[in-house]
Homo-oligomer: A and B are copies of this chain.
Amino acid sequence: MKHYLSIHDADDLTQWVDEAIALKKEPKKYKSLGADKTICLLFFNNSLRTRLSTQKAAMNLGMDVMVMNFGNEGWALEYGDGTIMGEGKSEHIKEAAQVVSQYCDIVAIRAFAKLQDKIKDEAEEVLEGFTQYASIPVVNMESSVAHPLQALADAITLEENNAKPKPKVVLSWAPHPKALPHAVANSFVKMMKLQNAEFVITHPEGYELDSRITEGCRIEHNQKKALENADFVYVKNWSSYSDYGEVIHQNTDWMMTAEKLDKAKFMHCLPVRRNMVVEDAVLDGNQSLVIEQANNRTFSAQIVLKKILETIK
């Protein structure tokens, strides 16, 4: 069974990107592939882009779609093995995952990091629970530590906008008032390690990502130096990983500006806080790729669903 839990589940990233770009030109070409197939989108957290783009991708492939906000429409789930369920949880992941598998052919799940407990977040109890007990393919619509549909959309966007044999791509941390998860940054780094690019990660000291993920990447604490001659600048906030889930300092001087960006293209997964993460001039200027990235979410989801549908025909 073919899941899509990590960007590494794309067995040939270059080919998937090329196929996604082809799908973008003819979105309805495979409309018969998903006929009489159903996808269920389960949201444990809010969503705008993922909700709409994954629905759209499934409909482009002719699938039926069922959307469910698990938090307030379903039952609170228990994930522990052997628990005596005498408290607030009404249903165990073992049943929930098997039951959902009776009603659809693919299940897609969004469950964010809670940023309270690193070990618990990294255990990915929701996504891993569904993967372990479901009898159908599972798609990650952003879990505690990964957002591989976003990373695939980012790869598509890079491919469409790159003119160089080996572009320079910078992942630049940005200030944010709230503590945010590492999922987007993690998946972007993993994806970039598969690209033929000069890749640099820049952030203030204390905001190091999981070193198992960034292993082998150049990390530069001087933002200005990191940005020199960049072709693409991917901006994203994340909270501290070592001091888990903390906003250790505001570093408002790390906000991306048109001046810092220079001639590079600007990327962000959205939602983005204007004049906090990035100034208006960048988002409103013509070097911004953020809307195209959002558009490419449809085609990253569509290539993933197409690849899965081809295995369950």
Residue interface bits A67-102, CB-to-B below 8 A is 1, else 0: 011001111001000111111011110111011101
CA of A90 to CA of B56 in the docked complex: distance in angstroms?
A: 23
- Whether B53 lies near A86 (C-beta < 8 A) is no
Any B CB within 8 A of the CB of A213 = no
| Secondary structure of the A contact surface, majority rule | mixed
- Whether A46 lies near B69 (C-beta < 8 A) is no
CA of A40 to CA of B55 in the docked complex: distance in angstroms?
A: 11
Which of B28, B40, B56, B92 is in CB contact (< 8 Å) with A66?
B56
Q: In the assembled complex, how far is the CB of residue A34 from the closest CB belonging to chain B, in whole angstroms?
A: 12
Q: A73-B69, A99-B49, A283-B95 are in contact. Are A56 and B104 (CB under 8 A)?
A: yes
Any B CB within 8 A of the CB of A64 = yes
Interface residues of A in 29-68 (CB under 8 A from B): 36, 38, 40, 43, 46-49, 51-53, 55-56, 59, 64, 66, 68
Residue interface bits A229-247, CB-to-B below 8 A is 1, else 0: 0000000000000000000
CA of A199 to CA of B217 in the docked complex: distance in angstroms?
A: 68
Closest partner residue, chain B, to A77 (CB atom): B271
Please indicate the chain B residues that have their CB under 8 angstroms from the CB of A55 in the complex.
66, 103
Q: In the assembled complex, how far is the CB of residue A56 from the closest CB belonging to chain B, in whole angstroms?
A: 5
Please indicate the chain B residues that have their CB under 8 angstroms from the CB of A47 in the complex.
73-74
Closest partner residue, chain B, to A284 (CB atom): B94
- Whether A99 lies near B48 (C-beta < 8 A) is yes
Please indicate the chain B residues that have their CB under 8 angstroms from the CB of A91 in the complex.
48, 270-273
Q: A86-B276, A276-B84, A280-B82 are in contact. Are A103 and B56 (CB under 8 A)?
A: yes
- Whether B295 lies near A73 (C-beta < 8 A) is no
Residues of chain A whose beta carbon lies under 8 Å from any beta carbon of chain B? 28, 36, 38, 40, 43, 46-49, 51-53, 55-56, 59, 64, 66, 68-69, 72-75, 78, 82-87, 89-92, 94-96, 98-100, 102-104, 177, 270-276, 280, 283-284, 290-291, 294-295, 297-298
